[in-house]
Amino acid sequence: MSVTPASGRWISVRVQPGRTTAGAREACLSALFAMGAQGVHEDGSALVTHFPPGTDLVMVHQALTESDAQVQVETAPVPDIDWTEAWKARITAHALGSLTVAPPWLAGGHDPASTIVIEPGMAFGTGEHATTRGVVRLLPERLRVGDVVADLGAGSAVLSIAAAKLGAARVYAIELDPEAIPDAERNVANNAVADRVHVFAADAAALLPLVAPVGLVLANIISSVLIELLPLIRVALTDDGSAILSGILQEERATMLEVFAAHGWAVLAEDAEDIWWSVAIAKA
């Protein structure tokens, strides 16, 4: 690993955990944030972030190896780029079955009725993450025209907008992070679904019982939180309702299947992409 980058340059740090467990990834993530990383994105199984000039890369490497002795770390100076425009090249349009998720500058050639236009911002959910794509792919088979939908951890409201475009009568987009709400509301308005999608800054566990019953629950959240929410989701669903869950690592699939079986859930459909697993379930 190089520790003498060009003076004045930001440094790109690419981390490949030595083990493929969720614990190893979380340990590497914690180490990166502890060393001052402001954000980390996933590139397959690797974690990528950037550090400002003057960062002690030896200390970064030490923190990572302490969290995972088999970790692989690559660093390189970040070239001088006009990021006000260059960042757009990293975002693409995604055709996902009957729907397309696209940023505004790529939406022009697509049918507005089946295109979800998302303005990239602070809120999670631009279509760039496999967990979002997994839910959108499973959605058409589960959503019935006229359904009431609850989107837990709505982020950018991409999944809520998808549900509305597929025929949901009413969608409750519930997001705990207040900073994500303006992005979600802007996206809802830009997609002309504000008459059906209602954005709430609230804890999903507190608000879900208040909007029940619903025919479909969408939840793209980490698996530990999903497990905690399953009893509330069960009570909130109509007898013939279903839920689409994502944010689950493929290595967690067996554990989640055991949880579903133990609590009376039947698996209806599955979707896998990269290291991520999405699943549709209903009351058994």
pLDDT at 124 over 70: no
Statement: residue 6 has pLDDT above 50: no
Question: Per-residue pLDDT averaged across 224-230, rounded?
Answer: 97
Q: How confident is the model at residue 3 (pLDDT cuts 50, 70, 90)?
A: very low
For residues 182-204, give the mean pLDDT.
96
pLDDT band at residue 122 using 50, 70 and 90 as cut-offs: low
Q: Is the dihedral of CA 277, 97, 172, 233 positive or negative?
A: negative
Pick from 97, 103, 108, 106: nearest CA to 135: 97
Report the pLDDT value the prediction gives residue 252, as an integer from 0 to 100.
Answer: 97
Question: Where does the pLDDT of residue 87 fall: very low under 50, low under 70, confident under 90, or very high at 90 and above?
Answer: low
Residue 138's pLDDT is 97
Q: Are 111 and 98 in contact (CB under 8 A)?
A: no
pLDDT band at 115 (very low <50, low <70, confident <90, very high): very high
Q: Write the Ramachandran bin of 253: left for phi over 0, alpha for psi from -120 to 50, otherwise beta.
A: alpha
Query: Residue-wise over 238-261: b if at least 16 C-beta within 10 A, else e?
Result: eeebbbbbbbbbeebeeebeeebe
Q: What is the mean pLDDT of residues 153-157?
A: 95
pTM of the full structure: 0.71
For 86-103, what is the mean pLDDT?
80
Residues 139-162, mean pLDDT to the nearest whole number = 97
Is it the case that residue 4 has pLDDT exceeding 50? no
Between 79 and 49, whose confidence is greater?
49
Residues of the chain with pLDDT > 70: what percent?
92
Mean pLDDT of 28-52: 89
Q: Is the pLDDT of residue 128 over 90?
A: no
